[in-house]
Amino acid sequence: MRWSLKVASVAGIEVRIHLTFLLFLAWIWFSYYQVAGLPGAVQGVLFILSLFACVLLHEFGHAFAARAFGIATPDITLLPIGGVARLTRIPDKPWQELVVAIAGPLVNVVIAAALIFVVHRSAELEQLQYLESPRIELLSKLASVNVMLVLFNLIPAFPMDGGRILRALLAMALPYTQATQIAAWIGQGLAIVFGIFGLFGNPLLIFIAFFIFAGAQQEAAIARAKESSRPAAKD
């Protein structure tokens, strides 16, 4: 991906950070600094970095699941809107795509469960200081963010994992292109619903709606291109 820096290499997978992500971090720093000074800025950036560490682990979930099916992931890039694991190809069999798509959110389920366990244990051990401890506050905030990541990613619309899960389930009964088209339509229907809710409520939903709508169109185009490039079957 252009405009990205390599920061690490884990198990043969490059971890890259997009320049817009660095701008995003700078923006977080300054906006927290204005409200809560230096300690606030440090805490704000620390929280965002821990959140994106969870996003990164989510992407590694996809990458390692793909590797089990012989599909390489040359790199994972972090962007302000999330992470992108660049798989060299989409699994051929629908059940494999299902496993690869589920593996990401599953990582966040595990992280959330572990964090909730740790927070509850700490609450039992240090009952008095419990509420004031910034460490516990960060961990419980991180736990709820992981739950939100799972719910957001399971929205059955491209480019979210939920869209791929839906397509994989449909592709078990239908041809791949048709499954993608139906999944794209469902995604676009959801995008329209989000857009309408966004107009009357949270404007963030309008942004998500555009994001989903574009994702659905792109996914359908990729599936059609894949179909037309495939040599015609002879019967």
Q: How far is the CB of 85 from Zn ion (least distance, A)?
A: 7
Distance (Å, whole) CA 39 – CA 41: 5
Residue 104 binds Zn ion (CB under 5 A): yes
Residues that contact Zn ion, how many (by CB under 5 A): 2
CA distances from 57 to 49, 51, 163, 178 (A): 12, 10, 20, 32
The catalytic residue among 59, 126, 132, 137 is 59
Closest C-alpha among 61, 56, 90, 98 to residue 76? 56
- Using the 8-state DSSP alphabet, how is residue 123 labeled? H
Distance (Å, whole) CA 28 – CA 51: 13
Applying CB under 5 A, the span of 36-44, 71-79, 101-109, 124-132 interacting with Zn ion comes to: 101-109
Measured from the CB atom, is 104 or 163 closer to Zn ion? 104
Measured from the CB atom, is 94 or 104 closer to Zn ion? 104
Applying CB under 5 A, the span of 1-9, 103-111, 132-140, 193-201 interacting with Zn ion comes to: 103-111
Q: How far is the CB of 62 from Zn ion (least distance, A)?
A: 6
DSSP notation for 162-199: HHHHHHHHHHTTS-HHHHHHHHHHHHHHHHHHHHHHHH
Q: Is 59 a catalytic residue?
A: yes
> Which residues, 161 to 180, sit near Zn ion by CB under 5 A?
161
Q: SS3 of 85, please?
A: strand
Measured from the CB atom, is 104 or 187 closer to Zn ion? 104
- What residues line the site for Zn ion (CB under 5 A)? 104, 161
Catalytic (active-site) positions = 59
